[in-house]
Chains A and B, each alone.
Chain A
Amino acid sequence: METLWFAFASVMVAIYVVMDGFDFGAGALHLWVARTDRERRQVLGAIGPFWDGNEVWLLAGGGVLFLAFPKVLASALSGFYMAIMLFLWVLILRGISIEFRSHLEDGMWRSFWDATFGMASTLAPVLLGAALGNLIRGVPLQADGWFGLSLFESFSPRGALGILDWYTVLAGLLALAALSHHGALFLAWKTDGPVRQRSLRAAGILFPAVVVLWVAATAATARLAPGLFTSLAARPLAWLATVVFLAGLAGSFLARRAGRDLPAFLASGAFLLGILGATAASVFPTMIRSIDGPSRSLTAFNASAGPEGLAAGLLWWPFGFVLAIVYTAVVFRLHRGRSRSADGEGY
């Protein structure tokens, strides 16, 4: 049952990254791919109906952790205190920029929110990537399962540990590149005209950056957490996820070159799902890795909420999950088609 909830939590996090990832990517790029007010309204028209629902995946994923692995949630959120707070502020600014911008037809007002939106959307993926980097590198868990990390210390993953070091920043940059690439492909699919052209060009520039950063991060991970690859090799599910993410990476390139916008975006989503899935399958059952050896790590088994709660959750949670998928599909279906340079209703 712990295994099942570990899988649910991983799926929720992965869906969150894929969904909100395209908002973040679009936001990080919009200052470059959309130059005029009309073009920026077009970008907001493309992500406007989705961003709020996408963010709900984060809350619902947090809910799964709360329900099934409260100790993991409590330890990670308090241990990464400063980074989490930064992430929350960034999320606040991102959401409010989208909603406030359209309410005044004023150049300065809109420039301010455009810049805020771009900055927040750039920082969020870096923080998400750094968080994953921290979990892979490991944290100084105490015997009672708590830890506290300041934002930065020596910037070395081997020296005095902080949340940010060269390894976790590298993971953050990989996330920024991958989500920007993802967002560019989303905009290519959901917009037309110059915005689409520039998004395709941006994706073309970002693709090699994703590959290079991915190779660098993989090499660094092999040195810092070699156990990850040992278990990856031993687990068929991790192989499958690896195949998915490699195919997704290649597919996003090939489909974009072939001018097929939706397949390119979906392939990029598969890349993100696959790489997160492979990581989850390889680290299982570890949820927070201890740098002082595995005996202190928080795992799906030693940090679960107990069999009664996990069993009770199974009664209703899968039903809610299916509903969430249905709602998401309805919203996408309703807002199908491209955000045209001519309209942008509500934005």
Chain B
Amino acid sequence: MSDPLFWHRLQFGFTITYHYIFPQLTMGLALLIVLMKFAALRTGSAAWRQAARFWIRIFGLSFAMGVVTGVPMEFQLGTNWAAFAHRTGGVIGQTLAMEGIFAFFLESSFLAILLFGEKRLGALLHFAAALALFAGSWLSGYFIIATNAFMQHPVGHALAADGTFRLARLSRFVFNPWAFEQYIHNQMAAAVTGAFVVAAVGAYWTLRREHPEVARVSLRIGVVAGLVASVLVAFPTGHAQGRLVAAHQPVTLAAMEGRFESGPRAPMAMIGQPNVAERRLDNPIELPALLSWIAYGDFSANVRGLASFPERDWPTNIELLYYSFHIMVGLGTMFIAVMAAATFLLRRGRLHRARFMLWILALAFPFPFIANTAGWMTAELGRQPWLVYGLMRTAEGGSPTVHAGATLFTSLGFAGLYFVLGVLFLALVARDIGRGPARHA
């Protein structure tokens, strides 16, 4: 346990998981706020305007949490992963610098403009500011995904004699095909989070018979956007991700499925427990041949098992990787079912009276956060044991002069600070929801 690498990984894993609770919500909400403001502009309805104003307030809180927990992330690449930052900075420094100069300034400036107020700006300019804020937050997402895509599937670089990565072709690196697929998948997943949160608040108000007009529009946009985004997360974007993993990280695919032996007509496990010591999946309930089809578009395709790869290239935490992947897929499937049912009731005009459905919607909002987190854990645990896939191992990336005691100290500090902030954030959001939209009119 005095291996600093363990603590570097734990700290970074914790701070980035916690951080990403907020960007997924702000990116999702940004899209929905733009849609709400668009509806308000088109229909002139007060309900849409009030809904947009309410969600901008929640957006502001979430954005603030995203900013303060995001600032450490860029620094931690240097503090905890100095060898990684040194060797790859020549490449990924490009996208990280782009994020700062193109996305962050756009976001912070237009949030300041948005909060300047609709009354003083006029409806159209205010809509434009919301649009710019949306663009900024989604652009920021792209630069981070492009950075991550280089770690997953390095392209556009050259290796220098001293082991550092040099940029070879900027466009190839920035427009990494992996980044493109992962970005759409990730952004749709963020939209799912935003939609479930908006729908949950709409359902909660409806159940309490409060703020009926704003509740109605929140419910409507949350449910419809939730269905569209949930479907898109699975197909085509999730499927495309699966094929990329199969093509470029076959050992990861095997670990995600707890598959040890190779063979054709590979089944997809719905449930089961990977038993790495005995190299088998315990108590499997499987869908026959589905994995072969997902990975290679052919039900009879051969899917390699872990046994066909050298053990030193196996992901380091196969069990957690397996569960992350299955939790993501399982929840994603349920999201489609929930939102499809809710949309059906909405179309029939019965959703606001369907108490059982409203209860489900009101209580379902934590699960997209879990699914998003599980998705990222799948990507990042699946990347192990590499920092840059196939080229630089995680063990080579830590800071050479930072010891375990220092990292544990700061990890505990982050844990304490983030716990307090999280409690306060939840309390403030709960209070805003309790007070409803009218108070901020």
Contact = CB atoms under 8 A, between A and B. Distances in A.
Contacts of A335: 112, 116
Interface in B401-441: 401-402, 406, 410, 413, 417, 421, 424, 428, 431-432
B93 A305 contact: yes
Contacts of A305: 89-90, 93, 166-167
B160 A320 contact: no
A92 B72 contact: yes
A61 B167 CA distance: 20
A123 interface: no
B105 A346 contact: no
Nearest to B88: A70
- Name which of A55, A65, A66, A79 has the most chain B CB atoms within 10 A of its CB: A66
Contacts of B431: 103-104
A4 interface: no
- Name which of A76, A82, A323, A324 has the most chain B CB atoms within 10 A of its CB: A324
A154 interface: no
Nearest to B94: A67
A208 interface: no
Interface stretch (B61-69, B259-267, B296-304, B337-345): B61-69
Given A60-B101, A345-B117, A92 B94 contact: no
- Name which of A65, A88, A92 has the most chain B CB atoms within 10 A of its CB: A88
A63 B68 contact: no
Given A67-B89, A306-B164, A96 B68 contact: yes
A63 B400 contact: no
B234 to A, nearest CB: 34
A291 B64 CA distance: 40
Interface in A18-44: none
B166 A85 contact: no
Contact of A96 (B64, B98, B109): B64
A89 interface: yes
Given A55-B67, A79-B401, A328 B89 contact: no
Contacts of A166: none
A53 B97 contact: no
A103 B92 CA distance: 38
A56 B104 contact: yes
A315 to B, nearest CB: 7
Interface in A65-93: 65-71, 73-79, 81-82, 84-85, 88-89, 91-93
B168 interface: yes
A144 to B, nearest CB: 8
Given A53-B109, A92-B69, A66 B82 contact: no
B82 A63 contact: no
Contacts of B406: 81-82
A56 B105 contact: yes
A308 B166 contact: yes
Contacts of B83: 74
Interface string A300-326: 000001101100110111001101100
B85 interface: yes
A66 B147 CA distance: 12
B166 A327 contact: no
B225 interface: no
Nearest to B432: A103
A175 B432 CA distance: 39
A66 B93 contact: yes
Contact of B170 (A144, A315, A327): A315
Contact of A60 (B72, B97, B112, B160): B97
A70 B421 contact: no
A95 interface: yes
A99 interface: yes
A68 to B, nearest CB: 7
A61 B101 CA distance: 9
Contacts of A67: 89-90, 93-94, 96-97
Contact of B85 (A73, A321, A327): A73
Interface stretch (B73-81, B208-216, B318-326, B376-384): B73-81
Interface residues of B, dominant DSSP = helix
A334 B101 contact: no
Contacts of B24: none
B78 A77 contact: yes
B180 interface: no
Contacts of B1: none
A78 B402 contact: yes
A77 B7 CA distance: 17
Contacts of B93: 63, 65-68, 70, 305, 309
A317 B170 CA distance: 13
A81 B89 contact: no
Contacts of B164: 70, 306
Nearest to A325: B105
A345 to B, nearest CB: 7
B113 A330 contact: yes
B251 interface: no
Contacts of A74: 78, 82-83, 85-86, 89, 399
Nearest to A100: B424
B236 interface: no
B401 A78 contact: yes
Nearest to A62: B74
A70 B81 CA distance: 12
A334 B108 CA distance: 14
A93 B420 CA distance: 11
A346 B111 CA distance: 13
Contacts of A82: 406, 410
B257 interface: no
Contacts of B111: 52
Nearest to B101: A320
Contacts of A59: 71, 74, 99-100, 104
B191 to A, nearest CB: 24
- Name which of B60, B79, B406 has the most chain A CB atoms within 10 A of its CB: B79
B389 interface: no
A52 B167 contact: no
Contact of B100 (A62, A92, A330): A62
- Name which of A63, A82, A323 has the most chain B CB atoms within 10 A of its CB: A63
Given A61-B100, A66-B85, 15 more contacts: A56-B104, A59-B99, A62-B96, A64-B97, A70-B85, A70-B87, A70-B93, A74-B399, A78-B401, A100-B424, A103-B61, A104-B428, A308-B90, A309-B91, A334-B112
7 contacts: A52-B111, A66-B78, A74-B86, A77-B75, A100-B424, A306-B164, A327-B110
Interface of B: 60-61, 64-65, 67-69, 71-72, 74-75, 77-80, 82-83, 85-94, 96-102, 104-106, 108-113, 115-117, 158, 160, 164, 166-168, 170, 399-402, 406, 410, 413, 417, 421, 424, 428, 431-432
The 7 A-B pairs with the shortest beta carbon distances in the complex, nearest first, are A70-B89, A77-B78, A148-B401, A63-B97, A320-B101, A305-B90, A67-B93
